[in-house]
């Protein structure tokens, strides 16, 4: 029943994290700036709330 509690901080953080990522088109740097947190904190929240599938990390480009 804890999930029905509107004062559940994790539930609110997940909602805000999803909204920021959606608003920025999945850009983690912009989402973190929008939320006033570090990219590392955002990455930790993405992992905590199992959002990595919807918002995967950026691909690394190998330079030749």
Q: Report yes or no on 61 lying in a domain.
A: no
How far is 60 from 48, CA to CA, in rounded Å? 23
pTM score, two decimals?
0.81
Q: Which tokens belong to 44?
A: 């930790």
Q: What is the CATH number of the domain that holds 11?
A: 1.10.10
**Each residue's pLDDT tens digit, 36-57:** 999 999 999 999 999 999 988 8
pLDDT category of residue 5 using cuts at 50, 70 and 90: confident
Domain count, the chain: 1
Q: Report yes or no on 60 lying in a domain.
A: no
pLDDT category of residue 63 using cuts at 50, 70 and 90: confident
- Asked if the model's pLDDT at residue 1 lies above 60, the reply is no
- Token look-up 């029943």 returns 1
Q: Report yes or no on 16 lying in a domain.
A: yes
Q: Report yes or no on 63 lying in a domain.
A: no
- Report the C-alpha dihedral over residues 4, 6, 11, 16, rounded to 10 degrees: 140
Q: What domain range is 22 assigned to?
A: 7-48
């Amino acid at each position: 029943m804890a999930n029905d509690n509107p004062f559940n901080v994790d539930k609110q953080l997940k909602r805000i994290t999803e909204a920021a990522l959606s608003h920025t088109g999945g850009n983690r740097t912009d989402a973190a700036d929008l939320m006033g947190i570090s990219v590392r904190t955002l990455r930790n929240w993405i992992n905590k709330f199992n959002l990595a599938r919807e918002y995967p990390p950026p691909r690394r480009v190998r330079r030749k």
